[in-house]
Amino acid sequence: MKSQFPRFIEIIHDPLDIGKRQWPLDIISGTFLMGDIFATSKAWNRLIHADVMRALFRHALGDWDECDPEALEGNQAALTWGGRIETEFQDKNGSRFIIQTKRETQVTTILLPEES
């Protein structure tokens, strides 16, 4: 049984709606500011929430060892110059998901690969 979503993740039904909504809590790590955190409803309904939370912390701490070399290089460049930081993870059921942080807008989104 899935738990209720954490208070600091807002579930969105339309990924284009992200810029129109605000959530008051920011997560700050030693690596970068994640900003407001959103999850698409499709991703949130499919994924194991505890695995998503672990992946969020790994994403925030720069634990990107599962990224391919090109994505890793892009993430490192985004830390220096700005841009999008993107990581991909898998939950215990084998469902893959993406976490994207857009540094310019300070928004982090959890979504499925087919939604990106």
pLDDT digits 0-9 by tens, 28-70 = 444 677 888 899 999 999 999 999 999 998 898 888 877 888 9
Phi-psi region for residue 21, left (φ > 0), alpha (ψ -120 to 50) or beta?
Answer: beta
CA distance 66 to 6: 25
Question: Dihedrals φ, ψ of 39, to 5°?
Answer: -135, 140
| pLDDT classification of 112: cutoffs 50, 70, 90 | very high
Q: To which residue do tokens 């990107």 refer?
A: 64
3-state class of 55 per DSSP? helix
Q: What is the DSSP letter of 88?
A: E
Question: Dihedrals φ, ψ of 88, to 5°?
Answer: -125, 135
Q: Is 47 exposed, middle or buried (0-12, 13-18, 19+ CB in 10 A)?
A: buried
| pLDDT classification of 14: cutoffs 50, 70, 90 | low
Q: Is 72 exposed, middle or buried (0-12, 13-18, 19+ CB in 10 A)?
A: middle
CA distance 30 to 94: 29
The tokens describing 105, both together, are 């807008």
- The pTM is what? 0.76
